[in-house]
């Protein structure tokens, strides 16, 4: 194909500078990447070969500016590969992943460029730089060092080999997981299989079956959490619950082409070797050196404060659930596929709260309006939906975002429904990052969820929290106000990036938000105050289960990535040993197992799954600032939150940014109270 005919390489003249989605085909990416990589490397050479002595402007700032063509293609490709993939696109991904890693190596191991960056870094205190410029210099220098720029000879060559192989393996891991999830379903036959399921689950199961061409009157349960978890919660069919539970646990652990066990083991071995090249005893030490936590001791101390109290509280909850099982004639002792079902029965009995009662008030469109309203009241944002814009899938919606002065802030895309071509889970990404250089660029942010599509789509409260969580990330990208792209939006340390998202979840439970937006999808009546009160009273119920489900994989992640270099790991055996050593309750289990733990093996959270609890310490303490002010929308507190947390990107060290917002360091007690682990 002639380069001139490749839509990825021409100017993107559509609305908001969006990619020309309708014109793009998988075969366009490989030649476009070749052109863009060549262009960026030429720009890198020009910076390195400049006759003028290195300065911040001609080296560091020039580096931040370069490669814009490559970046826009890479961001587009990355988004499509996880949101709307195809066999053809997956083939391109397999081909390009090691080549993209090699391209990154060529940049960060460019001796001439690093020599200039290193020289500037050595005399950074004498350069008279503004704070943000100094921060960029320090961050870019650290990026080079952690990418192997200081390595020499065989170590440098081996580092490049490792990163390229890791790129291939993480791609395979993700594609295997998608194949396992897309290839499994439980078809429901007749009233016996559908018994106990609320109308919202009926509707979602019918839509899932229709999407898979199973027939007009067919019903299917997939492994999408928004369908599988309600089934585990409401279905009285213990045999079917066990089938769904086992299918979720065993993803990636089947013999054959989609077996992730050997892939995960190889990834771990390569990470051990990578860390050793950098002089670290384990990959966890290497990873944590660039995090707020700094070392494994800090992580284990935090997780330990939750782990044992959660197990003790779970013993009390287990007794209650076991008594409920006996009353219902269910088998005892209870199993992991019983816990959600029995917990729902206890919730109904103890709190008179039924999730099926809540869902009619949580229509997706109303909850989107709620999160936009909160963003408006806190930060002065307005969201105007625009239709008729060419996007990558019919389910995707677009909103134009403006600020208090009506100035454009950016573009927000919402992609909320599960489909076989989309990876599971929920995430935020960008098609374009914010920066203030060269006239400035406004961000294009996308939130992906995996809600079960139905008519109407009704959310569980957990789904509502997920919606708000990802939108918190989205606001972190949209509200960014920095000069340099490398420091913009969510490009902060991994254990700080979850603060804006987890903090925003708090407003999903605010009574005044619920009273205004949680309206019955059929009648339009607001959610009764009595139901809100029940929801607030029940919010700590079963938190021990949730804490164990999260903390167990976080601890196993740390153990796995603390294994020293040269120690072979059998993934299944290692996980079994860790579960036994930790005392993971068999009837609770864990949210993620290693063979499908995409956070670790395909998502950048290796030795980092702890970050959600680390950020929870920050967000629980941060929301207390609003409680102390007596108003969840307190203007001065919201302004500090905007200025120091949501808009600053990586221009400040996270601990400094937090202290500027809160006036002190965070206290862990707020998180433990929120989880019901202390009074």
Q: Which two tokens stand for residue 610?
A: 């702890």
Q: How far is CA 165 from the centre of its chain?
A: 24
Helix (H) or strand (E) holding 315: helix 296-328
Q: Is the peptide bond before 615 cis (omega within 30 degrees of 0)?
A: no
For residue 628, give Cα distances in angstroms to 621, 631, 660: 11, 8, 17
Residue 476: helix, strand or coil by DSSP?
A: helix
Q: How many residues does the chain have?
A: 679
Indicate the helix (H) or strand (E) that contains 131.
helix 131-146
Question: Are the CB atoms for 553 and 591 separated by under 8 Å?
Answer: yes
Alpha helices in 423-542 (DSSP H): 461-478, 494-504, 511-517, 529-537
Report d(CA 612, CA 618) in Å as an integer.
10
**470 annotated active-site:** yes
Residue with tokens 């993939």: 85
Peptide bond preceding 395 in cis form (omega within 30 of 0) = no
- Residue 59 near residue 117, CB atoms below 8 Å: yes
Structure tokens at 93: 């991904």
| Cα–Cα distance for residue pair 203/201, rounded to 1 Å | 5
Q: 373-396 burial by CB neighbour count: b if 16+ within 10 A, else e? A: bbbebbbebebeeeeebebbeebb
- In this structure, the number of other CB atoms found within 10 A of the CB of residue 585 comes to 20
Catalytic annotation, pick one of 470, 485, 505, 575: 470
d(CA 463, CA 383): 21
CB 486 within 8 A of CB 136: yes
CA-CA-CA-CA torsion for 503, 509, 514, 515, nearest 10 degrees? Answer: -120
Q: Is 668 left (phi over 0), alpha (psi -120 to 50) or beta?
A: alpha
The whole-angstrom separation of Cα 29 and Cα 495 is 33
Listed residue (456, 435, 266, 462) closest to 358, CA to CA? 462
Under a CB-based contact definition with an 8 Å cutoff, are residues 273 and 267 in contact?
no
- Could you write out the DSSP letters of every residue in 380-443? --EEEEE-S---SSTT-EEEEEE-TTS-EEEEEEEEEE--TTS-SS-EEEEEE--B-STT-B--
Residues tagged active-site: 470
């Amino acid at each position: 194909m002639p380069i001139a005919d490749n839509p990825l390489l021409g100017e993107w003249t559509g609305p908001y500078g969006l990619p020309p989605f309708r014109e793009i085909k998988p075969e366009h990416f490989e030649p476009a990447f070749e052109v863009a990589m060549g262009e960026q490397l030429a720009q890198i050479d020009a910076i390195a070969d400049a006759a003028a002595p290195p300065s911040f402007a001609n080296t560091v700032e020039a580096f931040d500016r370069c490669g814009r063509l490559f970046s826009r293609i890479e961001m587009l490709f990355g988004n499509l590969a996880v949101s709307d993939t195809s066999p053809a696109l997956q083939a391109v991904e397999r081909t390009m992943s090691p080549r993209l890693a090699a391209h990154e190596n060529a940049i960060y191991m460019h001796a001439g460029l690093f020599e200039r960056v290193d020289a500037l870094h050595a005399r950074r205190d004498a350069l008279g730089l503004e704070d943000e410029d100094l921060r960029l210099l320090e961050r870019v220098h650290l990026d080079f060092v952690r990418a192997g720029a200081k390595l020499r000879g065989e170590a440098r060559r081996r580092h490049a080999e490792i990163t390229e192989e890791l790129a291939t393996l993480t791609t395979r891991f993700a594609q295997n997981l998608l194949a396992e999830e897309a290839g499994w379903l439980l078809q429901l036959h007749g009233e016996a299989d559908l018994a106990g399921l609320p109308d919202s689950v009926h509707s979602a199961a019918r839509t899932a079956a229709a999407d898979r061409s199973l027939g007009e009157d067919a019903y299917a349960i997939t492994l999408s959490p928004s369908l599988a978890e309600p089934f585990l919660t409401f279905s009285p069919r213990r045999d079917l619950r066990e089938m769904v539970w086992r299918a979720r646990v065993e993803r990636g652990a089947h013999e054959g082409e989609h077996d992730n066990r050997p892939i995960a083991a190889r990834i771990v071995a390569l990470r051990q070797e990578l860390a050793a090249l950098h002089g670290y005893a384990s990959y966890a030490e290497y990873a944590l050196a660039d995090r707020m936590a700094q070392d494994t001791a800090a992580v284990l101390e935090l997780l330990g404060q939750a782990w044992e109290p959660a197990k003790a509280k779970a013993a009390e909850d287990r007794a209650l659930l076991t008594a409920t099982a006996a009353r219902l004639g269910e088998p005892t002792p209870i199993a992991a596929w019983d816990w959600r079902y029995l917990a729902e029965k206890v919730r109904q009995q103890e709190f008179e709260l039924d999730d099926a009662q809540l869902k009619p008030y949580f229509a997706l469109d109303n909850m989107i309006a709620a999160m936009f309203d909160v963003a408006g009241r806190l930060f002065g944002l307005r969201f105007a939906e625009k239709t008729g814009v060419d996007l990558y899938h019919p389910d995707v919606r677009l909103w134009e975002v403006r600020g208090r002065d009506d100035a454009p802030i950016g573009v927000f895309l919402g992609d909320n429904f599960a489909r076989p071509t989309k990876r599971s889970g929920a995430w935020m990404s960008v098609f374009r990052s914010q920066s203030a250089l060269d006239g400035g660029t406004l961000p294009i942010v996308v939130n992906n969820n995996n809600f079960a599509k139905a008519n109407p789509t009704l959310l569980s409260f957990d789904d509502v929290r997920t919606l708000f969580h990802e939108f918190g990330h989205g606001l972190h990208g949209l509200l960014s106000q920095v000069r340099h792209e490398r420091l913009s939006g969510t490009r902060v340390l991994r254990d700080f990036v979850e603060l804006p998202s987890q903090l925003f979840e708090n407003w999903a439970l605010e009574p005044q938000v619920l009273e205004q937006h949680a309206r019955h999808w059929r009648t339009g009546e607001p959610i009764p105050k009595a139901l809100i009160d029940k929801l607030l009273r029940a919010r700590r119920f079963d938190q021990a289960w949730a804490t164990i489900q999260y903390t167990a994989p976080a601890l196993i992640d740390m153990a796995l990535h603390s294994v020293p270099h040269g120690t072979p790991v059998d993934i299944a055996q290692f996980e079994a040993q860790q579960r036994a050593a930790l005392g993971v309750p068999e009837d609770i289990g864990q949210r993620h197992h290693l063979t499908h733990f995409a956070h670790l093996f395909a998502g950048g959270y290796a030795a980092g799954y702890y970050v959600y609890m680390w950020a929870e310490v920050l967000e629980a303490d941060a929301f207390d600032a609003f409680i102390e002010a007596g108003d969840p929308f307190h203007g001065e507190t919201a302004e500090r939150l905007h200025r120091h947390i949501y808009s600053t990107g990586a221009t400040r060290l996270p601990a400094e940014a937090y202290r500027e917002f809160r006036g002190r360091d965070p206290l862990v007690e707020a998180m433990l109270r929120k989880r019901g682990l202390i009074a």
